[in-house]
């Protein structure tokens, strides 16, 4: 391999993901440079969320390798991958609705501050200390994402925009080096979208690499350093926002070519 | 923020401590301390079941089996082999824990109905073993001659002594459990209830936590079983049948399974209903239970402990 100017935090090699007869990802190869915002776009059903599920360990890929900071992770379980430093949010917001905003983020601290089942039950002195530590860290994160004043509200009571932000906060609490955001702006109004985009930029400034799946092209073009386009589980283009916007294959995938229009008639 | 208040616990403790004295004075409730021993034993099981079902969101229709394992391990080892009862109690809990791991590892991968069916089948199998292994368990006739508990020559031979022994255990378990709920482990369990996918992504080893809470509930049921065996000095399989598992379910549904207090209230109510207040229904008792479960699930999905919240919401409007 040639020496690269910047390090890759994530490398995906020849990944195939098949569900029975359906191939959701087909020989996918790409790298994510450390410290950037990389967007993954593509029409519905292109395999974006499947890719996230494979990277974060929801299920192992049918074939292929995934390397995170030079460790192979494709066969690790989700909770192990989280421990290594990859966190995520979900397209369909998956908050812990039975908890407060603060508690949601405190669950995110789970991997970095450990305790044993029995020690928790006996409430040993070090447990109290850890509890305070988790609380403080969670509060810090809530302030960072701008939900500090809502810490004691039920997560269920928040409007969608704030729920999406809270999910990002919860993911940050795991202290990731790579964060996978699945449509953070979907369903948000213009102000909320701007807040979310701004937050993603600030996450990058903290030195965290961002992998972003998003349909809002304005957000994608504004904040991404690099874009990869998927269609039917295959990479059809990759490059800077400008390069991707002018790629004929991308335009075709999104708008459909004339021939395809005829074919579908 | 989930915070369990200390004040009601203190009040509750005071009532429990003075109840036997009060029961002596008030006419007509002389047998209530005896019922309270049973209520305490059931509380041990329902606290575990509430953690398993209400907090972690897993169902078990086989808790009576663990209750029975505790009772039979204690019963057989003390009555037949003459071992130290406290040691047998610990053995009972260890065996229940091992069985819970063996049953839990495959079945906790299942969800909802399937988990219910798996634990139900487990309960039935254990019930059959109690009935058929006549050589060990005495079969349907039961096991007699289980000795009274004693510690350093002090015998728990009167009702009142046993009452305090049982409630000592209930309080220890209650405090342990509320500590657990308000800690990292407790949050992990509640997280699993809300979303397994998100829990995994937050680094929670979901299957490990599910097994741990299942084992914990099994250990508590076994402890309750041992206490039950030494209280009655006699056990037979009928106590540990499927209907008892369902009765436990009714207890936590009635009390409210999302709050630890619900487990206590439910255990109390069902004990008094079944031993005292519903006696005149005789064989129709089961229908009454069915009716209670029906009414609670439709009108009080959060159980009796949910009533204050309903009133609060109602007043706000």
Q: What is the pLDDT of residues A30-48, one digit of tens each?
A: 999 999 999 999 988 899 9
Q: Which of B1, B180, B258 sits opposite A100 (nearest CB)?
A: B1
Could you tell me if A233 and A16 are in contact, meaning their C-beta atoms sit under 8 angstroms apart? no
Give the model's pLDDT for residue B164: 96
Give the model's pLDDT for residue A5: 54
Residue B297 near chain A (CB below 8 Å): no
Please check the confidence at residue A265 and state whether its pLDDT lies above 50.
no
What whole-number distance in Å separates Cα of residue A117 and Cα of residue B25? Answer: 44
Residue B109 near chain A (CB below 8 Å): no
Q: How many beta-carbon contacts under 8 Å exist across A and B?
A: 108
Mutate to test the interface with A, among B51, B184, B194 (most CBs of A within 10 A): B184
Collapse the DSSP code of B200 into the 3-class scheme (helix H, G, I; strand E, B; otherwise coil) and give the result: helix
Mutate to test the interface with B, among A59, A90, A119, A120 (most CBs of B within 10 A): A120
Cβ-Cβ contacts under 8 Å, A115 against chain B = 183-185
Percent of the residues in chain A that have a pLDDT greater than 70, as a whole number: 94
Please check the confidence at residue B242 and state whether its pLDDT lies above 70.
yes
Give the model's pLDDT for residue B90: 97
Cβ-Cβ contacts under 8 Å, B197 against chain A = 58, 78, 90, 94
What whole-number distance in Å separates Cα of residue B197 and Cα of residue A90? Answer: 9
Average pLDDT on A84-113 reads 94
Band the pLDDT of B1: cuts 50, 70, 90: low
Strands A86-88 and A178-182: parallel
Tokens 């953690």 correspond to what residue?
B51
Give the model's pLDDT for residue A263: 45
Average pLDDT on A194-199 reads 95
Please check the confidence at residue A214 and state whether its pLDDT lies above 90.
yes
Cβ-Cβ contacts under 8 Å, A78 against chain B = 197, 200-201
Please check the confidence at residue A13 and state whether its pLDDT lies above 60.
yes
Give the model's pLDDT for residue B297: 87
Please check the confidence at residue A107 and state whether its pLDDT lies above 90.
yes
Band the pLDDT of B28: cuts 50, 70, 90: confident
Mutate to test the interface with B, among A50, A59, A78 (most CBs of B within 10 A): A78
Q: Do A120 and B180 touch (CB under 8 A)?
A: yes
Structure tokens given for B253 = 């549904």
Residue A193 near chain B (CB below 8 Å): no
Average pLDDT on B119-140 reads 93
Give the model's pLDDT for residue A15: 96
Q: Do B185 and A130 touch (CB under 8 A)?
A: no
Q: Do B202 and A170 touch (CB under 8 A)?
A: yes
Cβ-Cβ contacts under 8 Å, A177 against chain B = none
Please check the confidence at residue A232 and state whether its pLDDT lies above 50.
yes
Average pLDDT on B205-227 reads 96
Looking at A252-256, B92-96, B104-108, which range is the least confident one?
Answer: A252-256
Q: Do A58 and B200 touch (CB under 8 A)?
A: yes
Give the model's pLDDT for residue A259: 54
Select the more confidently predicted residue: B75 or A45.
Answer: B75
Give the model's pLDDT for residue A257: 60
**pLDDT single digits (tens) B177-187:** 999 999 999 99
Q: How far is B206 from chain A (nearest CA, A)?
A: 8
Task: Give the mean pLDDT of chain A.
Answer: 91
Collapse the DSSP code of B57 into the 3-class scheme (helix H, G, I; strand E, B; otherwise coil) and give the result: coil
Band the pLDDT of A261: cuts 50, 70, 90: very low
Please check the confidence at residue A169 and state whether its pLDDT lies above 80.
yes
Q: Do A110 and B202 touch (CB under 8 A)?
A: yes
Who contacts B2 (Cβ-Cβ below 8 Å, separation ≥6)? A99, A100, A103, B181, B182, B186, B190
Give the model's pLDDT for residue B175: 95
Average pLDDT on B131-152 reads 90
Structure tokens given for A14 = 């020849």
Query: Measuring CA to CA, which residue among B164, B170, B172 is closest to residue B17?
Result: B164
Give the model's pLDDT for residue B163: 96
Please check the confidence at residue A17 and state whether its pLDDT lies above 60.
yes
Q: Which of B180, B186, B203 sits opposite A79 (nearest CB)?
A: B203
Give the model's pLDDT for residue B19: 92
Task: Give the mean pLDDT of chain B.
Answer: 92
Q: Which of B177, B180, B194 sits opposite A98 (nearest CB)?
A: B194
Q: Do B206 and A79 touch (CB under 8 A)?
A: yes
Structure tokens given for A262 = 């005829």
Give the model's pLDDT for residue A222: 93
Band the pLDDT of B13: cuts 50, 70, 90: very high
Q: Do A115 and B184 touch (CB under 8 A)?
A: yes
């Amino acid at each position: 391999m040639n020496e690269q100017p910047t390090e890759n935090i994530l490398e995906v090699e020849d990944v195939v993901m098949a569900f029975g007869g359906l191939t959701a990802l087909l020989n996918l190869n790409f790298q994510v440079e450390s410290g950037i915002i990389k967007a993954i776009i593509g029409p519905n059903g292109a395999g974006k969320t499947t890719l996230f599920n494979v990277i974060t360990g929801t299920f192992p890929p049918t074939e292929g390798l995934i390397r995170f900071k030079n460790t192979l992770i494709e066969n690790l379980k989700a909770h192990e991958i989280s421990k290594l430093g990859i966190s995520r949010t979900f397209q369909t917001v998956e908050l812990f609705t039975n908890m407060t905003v603060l508690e949601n983020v405190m669950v995110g601290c789970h991997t970095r501050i450990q305790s044993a089942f029995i020690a928790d039950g006996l409430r040993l002195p070090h447990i109290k200390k850890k509890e305070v530590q988790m609380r403080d860290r969670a509060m810090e994160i809530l302030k960072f994402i701008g939900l500090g004043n809502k810490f004691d509200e039920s997560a269920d009571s928040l409007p969608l925009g704030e729920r999406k932000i809270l999910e990002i906060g919860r993911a940050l609490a795991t202290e990731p080096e790579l964060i996978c955001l699945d449509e953070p702006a979907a369903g948000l109004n213009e102000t909320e979208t701007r807040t979310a985009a701004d937050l993603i930029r600030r996450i990058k400034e903290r030195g965290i690499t961002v992998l972003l799946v998003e349909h809002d092209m304005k957000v994608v073009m504004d904040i991404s350093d690099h874009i990869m386009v998927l269609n039917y589980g295959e990479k059809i283009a990759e490059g800077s926002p400008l390069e991707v916007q002018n790629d004929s294959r991308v335009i075709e995938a999104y708008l459909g070519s004339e021939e395809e229009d005829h074919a579908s008639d | 923020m989930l915070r369990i208040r200390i004040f009601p616990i203190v009040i509750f403790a005071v009532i429990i401590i003075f109840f036997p004295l009060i029961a002596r004075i008030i006419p007509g409730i002389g047998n209530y301390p005896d019922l309270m021993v049973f209520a305490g034993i059931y509380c041990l099981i329902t606290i575990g079941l509430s953690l398993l079902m209400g907090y972690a969101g897993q169902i078990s229709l086989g808790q009576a089996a663990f209750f029975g394992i505790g009772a039979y391990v204690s019963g057989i080892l003390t009555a037949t082999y003459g071992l130290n009862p406290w040691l047998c109690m610990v053995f009972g809990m260890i065996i229940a824990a091992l069985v819970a791991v063996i049953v839990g590892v495959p079945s906790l991968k299942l969800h909802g109905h399937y988990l219910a069916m798996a634990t139900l089948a487990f309960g039935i199998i254990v019930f059959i073993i109690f009935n058929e292994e006549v050589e060990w368990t005495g079969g349907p006739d039961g096991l007699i001659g289980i000795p009274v508990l004693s510690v350093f020559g002090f015998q728990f031979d009167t009702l009142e002594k046993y009452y305090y022994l049982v409630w000592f255990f209930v309080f220890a378990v209650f405090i342990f459990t509320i500590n657990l709920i308000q800690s990292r482990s407790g949050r992990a369990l509640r997280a699993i209830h809300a979303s397994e996918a998100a829990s995994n992504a937050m680094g929670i080893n979901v299957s490990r936590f599910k097994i741990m809470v299942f084992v914990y509930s099994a250990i508590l049921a076994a402890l309750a079983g041992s206490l039950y065996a030494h209280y009655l000095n006699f056990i037979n399989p009928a106590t540990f049948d499927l209907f008892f598992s369902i009765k436990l379910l009714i207890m936590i549904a009635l009390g409210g399974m999302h709050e630890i207090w619900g487990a206590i209230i439910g255990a109390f109510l069902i004990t008094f209903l079944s031993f005292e207040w519903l006696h005149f229904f005789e064989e129709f008792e089961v229908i009454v239970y069915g009716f209670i479960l029906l009414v609670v699930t439709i009108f009080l999905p959060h159980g009796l402990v949910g009533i204050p919240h309903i009133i609060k919401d109602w007043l706000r409007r």
